[in-house]
């Protein structure tokens, strides 16, 4: 009974760790997305401000001052640079998530995760030849040992 309880506690701790990791990933991506939206909003405001400056200069209500235009352009460049940084961070996070998913798949399969997917063959009528799980009735690859849906062995 003690061992069963220890195993249960160990399993709960492991599950909590996985939930924490997934939640952290989701929160980090959400923060990046919010910051990207704010930067895009600021960029839109800066473009509008530059447009107003140019309009006022053309209409004659403002004298042409290159420093004002240059300052507006610098703010726009700052926003564009920040957007590139944020997109780079998002790409890195997605890549690391993809790699960890491949490693997890490799660990579950007991070997290296292959880059190349093997697709099922078609019969002479053009239908896929699949192995169906007797428990959940889901079609699997003909060489599969376990069901992709329920995980039971054939």
For the chain, how are helix, strand and coil distributed in percent, rounded to 5?
A: 65, 5, 30
Predicted local confidence at residue 93, as pLDDT = 87
Phi, psi (deg, nearest 5) at residue 23: -65, -40
pLDDT of residue 135: 87
Q: What is the mean pLDDT of residues 67-76?
A: 93
Calculate the dihedral angle through the C-alpha atoms of 132, 136, 137, 140, rounding to the nearest 10 degrees: -30
23-63 confidence digits (pLDDT tens): 988 999 999 999 999 999 999 999 999 999 999 999 988 88
Query: Looking at per-residue confidence, does 76 or 124 come out higher?
Result: 76
Please say if the pLDDT value at position 73 is more than 70: yes
Count the helices and strands in the chain (H runs, E runs). Answer: 2, 2
Asked if residues 154 and 144 have their Cβ atoms less than 8 Å apart, the reply is yes
pLDDT at 96: 83
Q: What is the pLDDT of residues 93-137, one digit of tens each?
A: 888 887 777 777 666 655 554 556 666 677 777 777 888 888 888
pTM score, whole prediction = 0.57
Q: Are the beta carbons of 133 and 147 closer than 8 angstroms?
A: yes
Band (pLDDT 50/70/90 cuts) for residue 87 is: very high
Q: Which residues make Cβ contacts (< 8 Å) with residue 68, sequence separation at least 6?
A: 53
Q: What angle do CA 21, 27, 25 make, to 5 degrees?
A: 35
Rg (the chain; Cα; Å): 28
SS3 131: strand
């Amino acid at each position: 009974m003690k061992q069963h309880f220890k195993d249960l506690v160990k399993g709960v701790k492991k599950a909590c760790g996985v939930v924490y990791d997934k939640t952290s990933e989701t929160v980090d991506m959400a923060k990046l997305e919010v910051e990207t939206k704010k930067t895009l909003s600021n960029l839109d405001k800066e473009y509008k401000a530059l447009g107003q400056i140019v309009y006022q200069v053309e209409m004659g209500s403002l004298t042409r001052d290159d420093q004002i235009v240059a300052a507006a352009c610098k703010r726009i460049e700052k926003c564009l640079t920040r957007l590139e940084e944020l997109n780079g961070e998002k790409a890195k996070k997605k890549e690391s998530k993809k790699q960890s998913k491949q490693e997890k798949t490799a660990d579950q399969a007991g070997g290296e995760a292959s880059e190349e997917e093997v697709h099922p063959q078609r019969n002479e009528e053009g239908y896929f030849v699949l192995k169906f799980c007797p428990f959940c009735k889901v079609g699997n690859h003909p060489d599969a040992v376990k069901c992709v849906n329920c995980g039971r062995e054939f």
